[in-house]
């Protein structure tokens, strides 16, 4: 039986980009029995809708499995790796360096020895 599709589901192109960023299963253990794309789809559904883990639709993998991967990937920095990689690809498509080279700071968020209200803004330079 095929699962209902949700607006939060990854497209095939999105999955092609994200799949290589997912950590491989531990060597010597049981091979994964759950589709990692479905795990991602369930996590994105949870994040987008704000539903509780125990209220994930029943056609996703078991909520305990989904939450386990979410938590493990959070500890391993997988989400940061996703954001870094995807952000770099977007910047590249815009003709910019994959790494931002700009800094924006204001006196509200950075301590300085300058007068109150000093503002420093550097713009992104196309390289």
Q: pLDDT tens digit string along 106-115?
A: 666 555 555 5
Average pLDDT over residues 22-29: 84
Whole-number average pLDDT of the chain: 82
125 pLDDT more than 70: no
| Phi, psi angles (nearest 5°) of residue 104 | -125, 125
As a whole number of angstroms, the distance between CA 41 and CA 35 comes to 10
CA–chain centroid gap for 1, Å, is 29
Percent of the chain predicted with pLDDT > 90: 42
- Residue spans of the domains in the chain: they are 36-97
- As a whole number of angstroms, the distance between CA 6 and CA 11 comes to 11
pLDDT of 33 above 90: no
List, in order, residues 6 or more apart from 107 with CB less than 8 Å away: 114, 116, 117, 118, 119
pTM > 0.85: yes or no: no
What's the confidence (pLDDT) of residue 112?
57
57 compared with 33, residue with greater pLDDT: 57
Give the mean pLDDT of 83-104: 78
Confidence of residue 60 (pLDDT cuts 50, 70, 90): very high
């Amino acid at each position: 039986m095929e699962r209902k599709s949700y607006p939060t589901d990854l497209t095939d192109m999105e999955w092609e980009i994200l799949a290589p960023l997912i950590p491989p299963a531990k060597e010597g253990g049981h091979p994964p029995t759950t589709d990692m794309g479905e795990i991602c789809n369930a996590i994105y559904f949870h994040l987008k809708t704000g539903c509780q883990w125990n209220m994930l639709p029943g056609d996703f993998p078991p909520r305990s499995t989904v939450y386990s991967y979410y938590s493990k990937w959070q500890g391993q920095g997988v989400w940061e790796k996703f954001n870094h990689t995807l952000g770099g690809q977007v910047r590249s498509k815009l003709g910019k360096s994959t790494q931002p080279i700009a800094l924006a700071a204001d006196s509200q968020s950075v301590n300085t020895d300058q007068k109150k209200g000093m503002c420093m803004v550097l713009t992104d330079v196309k390289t």
